[in-house]
Amino acid sequence: MDDKAFRRAMGKFATGVTVITACLQGEVHGMTANAFVSVSLDPRLILVSISKNAKMLETMKESGTFAVSVLSQEQKEMSIYFAGQAKERREIEFTWVNDMPVLPHSLAALVCDVYDAHVAGDHTLFIGKVNHITTHELEPLLFFGGNYRMLQASSL
């Protein structure tokens, strides 16, 4: 099995899209990620996976806190920007929740303290203890097969 076959197989799993943000020395850092999962209800824990090559890795290690913005379908541009695929640098407006930057108009925003971290292969898995949540009733931005998708209602 080669890397392309593995990536192609993983792309068959439809996911939501998130932007993970953290603040270090007064500067906001962010990245797009779809490796996000709920871990526990008691305590409330979530997990994000950060590549060893990501600029965000050191920020996550040093900051001790992070936020996850679950993107709505209107936020595709934010996903592209924080994935480093946008050509121009721009000023991003954040909403500040418990001193953490989150993207306004997201489906959900979770503010977390780093609860634990584990190196697994070429990624670090950060488990966050959720200390604040906001939600909005919007449609999700989805990712499947290397492309953005939108949810379509189905009548069964």
- Per the domain annotation, does 134 fall within a domain? yes
Tens of pLDDT along 13-72? 888 999 999 999 889 999 999 899 999 999 999 999 999 999 999 999 999 999 999 999
Query: How many domains in the chain?
Result: 1
- Per the domain annotation, does 155 fall within a domain? no
Q: What confidence score (pLDDT) does residue 57 get?
A: 94
- Per the domain annotation, does 156 fall within a domain? no
How does 67-89 read in b/e, with b if 16+ C-beta sit within 10 Å?
Answer: bbbbbbbebeebbebbeeeeeee
- Per the domain annotation, does 40 fall within a domain? yes
Q: For the ranges 25-29, 80-84, 86-90, which has the lowest average pLDDT?
A: 86-90
pTM: 0.92
Mean pLDDT over all residues of the chain? 92
Range of the domain at 57: 3-150
Contact 113, 64 (CB under 8 A): yes
Tens of pLDDT along 8-21? 888 888 889 999 99
Q: What confidence score (pLDDT) does residue 138 get?
A: 94
pLDDT > 90: what percent of the chain? 74
Question: How is residue 74 written in tokens?
Answer: 């209107």
User: For the domain that residue 77 is a member of, what is the CATH number?
Assistant: 2.30.110.10
Distance CA 63, CA 5 (A): 35
